[in-house]
Amino acid sequence: MTRFWCECAWLGGADVAPRVLIEVDGDRVASIEVGVEPPAGAQRLRGVVIPGLANAHSHAFQRALRGRTHGARGSFWSWRDQMYALVDALDPDLMLALARATFAEMALAGVTVVGEFHYVHHGPGGVPYEDPNAMGAAVLQAAADAGIRVTLLDACYLFGGPGVAATGAQVRFRDEDADAWAQRVAGLVERPGVRIGSAIHSMRAVDPEAAGVVAVWAADRSAPLHAHVSEQPGENDQCLEAYGDSPTTVLADAGALSARFTAVHATHVTERDRALLGAARACCCLCPTTERDLADGIGPARGLRDSGARLAVGSDSQAVIDLFEEVRAVELDERLATGVRAQHAADELLDAATAGGYASLGWDDGGVLRAGALADFVAVRTDGVRLAGAPEEQLVDALVFSAAAADVGDVVVGGRVVVRDGCHVSIDVPRELAAAIKEVGL
Residue 173 belongs to domain with CATH number? 3.20.20.140
Are residues 303 and 377 located together in one domain of the fold?
A: no
The pLDDT of residue 355: 98
Are residues 148 and 220 located together in one domain of the fold?
A: yes
Are residues 356 and 376 located together in one domain of the fold?
A: no
Residue 441: pLDDT above 90?
no
The pLDDT of residue 50: 98
Are residues 331 and 400 located together in one domain of the fold?
A: no
Where a domain ends, among 360, 379, 403?
360
In a domain, 434, yes or no: no
Full domain range(s) for residue 381 = 2-51+368-423
Q: What is the pLDDT of residues 214-234, one digit of tens each?
A: 999 999 999 999 999 999 999
Are residues 58 and 42 located together in one domain of the fold?
A: no
Are 214 and 178 in contact by the 8 Å Cβ rule? The answer is: yes
In a domain, 440, yes or no: no
How distant is the alpha carbon of residue 204 from its chain centre? 21
Q: What is the pLDDT of residues 179-223, one digit of tens each?
A: 999 999 999 999 999 999 999 999 999 999 999 999 999 999 999
Instruction: Kindly give, in sequence order, each residue whose CB lies less than 8 Å from that of residue 69, ignoring residues fewer than 6 positions away.
Output: 79, 82, 83
The pLDDT of residue 392: 86
What is the mean pLDDT of the segment spanning 293-321? 96
Are residues 127 and 139 located together in one domain of the fold?
A: yes
Q: Which of 121, 265, 268, 424 is the catalytic position?
A: 265
The pLDDT of residue 313: 98
Q: Which CATH number characterizes residue 413's domain?
A: 2.30.40.10
Closest CA to 57 of 310, 287, 266, 229: 287
Specify the long-range contacts of residues 345-351, CB closer than 8 Å, at least 24 apart. Answer: 345/14, 346/14, 346/396, 346/397, 346/399, 346/400, 346/401, 347/10, 347/12, 347/13, 347/14, 347/396, 348/305, 349/400, 350/10, 350/50, 350/396, 350/399, 350/400, 351/12
- Report the half-sphere exposure of 265 (CA within 13 A, side-chain side): 28
Are residues 397 and 295 located together in one domain of the fold?
A: no
How distant is the alpha carbon of residue 282 from its chain centre? 15
Select the more confidently predicted residue: 442 or 27.
Answer: 27
Q: What is the pLDDT of residues 327-337, one digit of tens each?
A: 999 999 999 99
Q: Does 253 participate in catalysis according to the annotation?
A: no
What is the mean pLDDT of the segment spanning 345-366? 98
Are residues 43 and 183 located together in one domain of the fold?
A: no
Are residues 334 and 287 located together in one domain of the fold?
A: yes
What is the mean pLDDT of the segment spanning 279-290? 98
In a domain, 98, yes or no: yes
Are residues 389 and 279 located together in one domain of the fold?
A: no
Are residues 78 and 156 located together in one domain of the fold?
A: yes
Gap between the Cα atoms of 330 and 301, Å rounded:
7
What is the mean pLDDT of the segment spanning 148-155? 98
Gap between the Cα atoms of 202 and 8, Å rounded:
42
The pLDDT of residue 384: 96
In a domain, 324, yes or no: yes
Q: Does 265 participate in catalysis according to the annotation?
A: yes
Q: What is the pLDDT of residues 359-406, one digit of tens each?
A: 999 999 999 999 999 999 999 999 999 999 999 889 999 999 999 999
The pLDDT of residue 407: 98
Residue 82: pLDDT above 90?
no
What is the mean pLDDT of the segment spanning 312-337? 97
Where a domain ends, among 340, 360, 380?
360
* Confidence bin at 75 (pLDDT 50/70/90): confident
Percent of the chain with pLDDT over 70: 100
In a domain, 436, yes or no: no
In a domain, 435, yes or no: no
* Confidence bin at 103 (pLDDT 50/70/90): very high
pTM for the full model?
0.97
Q: Which of 154, 245, 296, 316 is the catalytic position?
A: 316
The pLDDT of residue 324: 98
* Confidence bin at 76 (pLDDT 50/70/90): confident
What is the mean pLDDT of the segment spanning 16-31? 98
The pLDDT of residue 367: 98
Are 120 and 133 in contact by the 8 Å Cβ rule? The answer is: no
Gap between the Cα atoms of 286 and 37, Å rounded:
40
Are residues 9 and 134 located together in one domain of the fold?
A: no
* Confidence bin at 74 (pLDDT 50/70/90): confident
> Considering its fold, how many domains does the chain have in total?
2
Average pLDDT score over the chain = 96
In a domain, 12, yes or no: yes
In a domain, 199, yes or no: yes
